[in-house]
Amino acid sequence: MVSKRIFVNREKELSYLENWLSTFPKPSISVNRRRDILFITGAKGIGKSALLREFQDRSRDSDRIVVYIEFRRPYRSVEQFIQDIIEHYYRALSLHSSRLEEIVLNILLDIAKTLVKKVGLDLDTISYTIASSKKYKEDPLRLITLLEEKLSYIAYREDKKLVIIYDEFQNLVKTLTTEDRDYIVFVEDLLNYMSKVQEWGFNTRYNGYCIYIISSSDYTLYRSIARSHLWDIVSTYHINELSIKDSIKLLEEYCRLYDIVLSGDTPHYIASFLGGNPALLIKLILRFKEKGYSSVTREAVDRELESIINYEVFRLKDVGRRLGIDLCTIYKCIGSRVVSQEEFEDKLFNELGSGEKIEYVINELLKENIISWIDYRLQYQNRLIERALERLCR
Ligand SMILES: Nc1ncnc2c1ncn2[C@@H]1O[C@H](COP(=O)(O)OP(=O)(O)OP(=O)(O)O)[C@@H](O)[C@H]1O
Ligand SMILES: [Mg+2]
């Protein structure tokens, strides 16, 4: 039995994407150099990827071709990279047009052969390390550029817009950066290249019209974009938690899927306690499933929440020790609010008294996914972190 994927609401976000796209004309030869970029941000597990996949699904039979590519990791081998790309292109093509399949497969094979020839390996052993060779670092970019070009030509012929989604965009950046390239400068170059079809050391045969959506929860990337002067070509859109009502719906749908009954007001209780981060809510339901619950009482919920929080407290203590930071200082500065960057830094300065230390602490907290910083506002990554800090510091 194939079960339908669970997807709750996000109509506002889907309409935003729809409206954003509607501002761009369909491709024509005269405007085919115009490229535009939307940067989707939001905490880990908030539902960026789920939203973008849903958007791709809803784009079937529309006036656009949507390719969703998730760069799952910073790639060290071309083989892994090609595998992920093939998988995603296949999905996009099966959604939109079967005629495209052959063309893309041929390009991929061509590129694979070229890569293999260059390093003197045969096709059977295509796996080799590119990490040590700066020269081949550019090849993943060459691969996606060729695919984009071909696809944008096809989209143009079919009178459709081409939308390319690069999820976990930081992994593409990491795959392409070398030691001698500054990360921030490279992000700027890459986005400029995507936006204006900057030449990249090889000939681009067809500079097609293409709209990009990039997505990431990576703060370094967010900050690089914020710090460079890319706002003319990059719009940003932040994904927030689900409402209590939608969180309850999500809990109920997952419980139905796993044959679990949440008694009385437990869905509301869980949603109020954990907030609307889908990943956290699902994690709790999966614990009930693993423990074989068929019916879940308020006491059982409290027990599981307690154990999840204890685990988080343990992790936070460990992080605090490792970094030499008393995390209760952070809790003192943020409490249970969303604070502005200015207010947080002022308060932290009173506690720590040194600018350098402040920068270090903030960077580490961001790296450890304890806090997240969006548009000069600071908050905890999710409610579980807040609950754990509450516990740790009371
Ligand atoms: N609106 C939704 N309805 C139902 N399930 C959802 C929804 N949004 C997210 N989920 C589920 O929650 C989990 C986390 O979502 P997702 O992977 O999309 O988060 P993310 O923001 O992409 O996180 P990360 O930054 O770690 O990539 C997934 O299992 C996803 O299917
Ligand atoms: Mg994701």
Give 150-189 pLDDT, tens digit per residue. 777 777 778 888 899 999 999 988 887 777 677 888 888 8
Pocket of ligand 1 contains residue 46 by CB under 6 Å: yes
pLDDT at 393 over 60: yes
Look at residue 262 in the predicted model and tell me its pLDDT.
95
Mean per-residue pLDDT, 112-117: 54
What average pLDDT does the chain have?
A: 81
**Reported confidence tier of residue 191, pLDDT bands at 50, 70, 90:** confident
Atom of ligand 1 nearest to the CA of 253: 4
CA distance 37 to 44: 21
Pocket of ligand 1 contains residue 369 by CB under 6 Å: no
pLDDT at 13 over 90: yes
**Reported confidence tier of residue 372, pLDDT bands at 50, 70, 90:** confident
Looking at the whole model, is its pTM more than 0.95? Answer: no
Residue indicated by tokens 């690069």? 166
Distance (angstroms) between ligand 1 centre and the Cα of 44 equals: 8
- What torsion, rounded to 10 degrees, do the Cα atoms 49, 52, 58, 59 define? -140
The CATH architecture one would assign to domain 11-238 is: 3-Layer(aba) Sandwich (3.40)
pLDDT at 86 over 90: no
What is the residue-wise DSSP string for 136-202?
A: HHTHHHHHHHHHHHHHHHHHHHTT-EEEEEEESHHHHHHHH--TTS-HHHHHHHHHHHHHH----SS
Pocket of ligand 1 contains residue 44 by CB under 6 Å: yes
Distance (angstroms) between ligand 1 centre and the Cα of 280 equals: 10
Atom of ligand 1 nearest to the CA of 8: 3
Of 223 and 385, more confident: 385
**Reported confidence tier of residue 106, pLDDT bands at 50, 70, 90:** low
CA distance 212 to 195: 9
Reported as a single tens digit per residue, the pLDDT across 36-73 is: 899 999 999 999 999 999 999 999 888 888 989 999 88
Of 169 and 110, more confident: 169
Of 108 and 333, more confident: 333
From 174, 169, 173, select the one nearest 213 (Cα to Cα).
Answer: 169
CA-nearest residue for atom 11, ligand 1, is 278
Pocket of ligand 1 contains residue 53 by CB under 6 Å: no
CA-nearest residue for atom 23, ligand 1, is 45
Distance (angstroms) between ligand 2 centre and the Cα of 382 equals: 15
Look at residue 381 in the predicted model and tell me its pLDDT.
92
Distance (angstroms) between ligand 1 centre and the Cα of 46 equals: 6
Of 311 and 80, more confident: 311
pLDDT at 120 over 50: no
Pocket of ligand 1 contains residue 279 by CB under 6 Å: yes
CA distance 290 to 283: 10
Distance (angstroms) between ligand 2 centre and the Cα of 44 equals: 7
Q: Domain map of the chain by residue range?
A: 11-238, 321-394
Look at residue 12 in the predicted model and tell me its pLDDT.
98
Distance (angstroms) between ligand 2 centre and the Cα of 87 equals: 17
pLDDT at 109 over 80: no
Reported as a single tens digit per residue, the pLDDT across 283-296 is: 999 999 999 999 99
As given in the structure block, the two tokens for residue 89 are: 């292109």
pLDDT at 78 over 50: yes
Of 294 and 147, more confident: 294
Mean per-residue pLDDT, 125-149: 53
Reported as a single tens digit per residue, the pLDDT across 221-262 is: 888 888 877 877 888 999 999 999 999 999 999 999 999 999
**Ligand 1 pocket mutation, candidates 49, 213, 274, 374, criterion most atoms within 8 A of CB:** 49
Query: Is 321-394 in CATH node 1.10.10.10?
Result: yes
Distance (angstroms) between ligand 2 centre and the Cα of 287 equals: 21
Rounded to whole angstroms, what are the CA distances from 253 to 50, 84, 203, 285, 289?
Answer: 15, 30, 50, 10, 13
pLDDT at 25 over 80: no
CA distance 215 to 204: 25
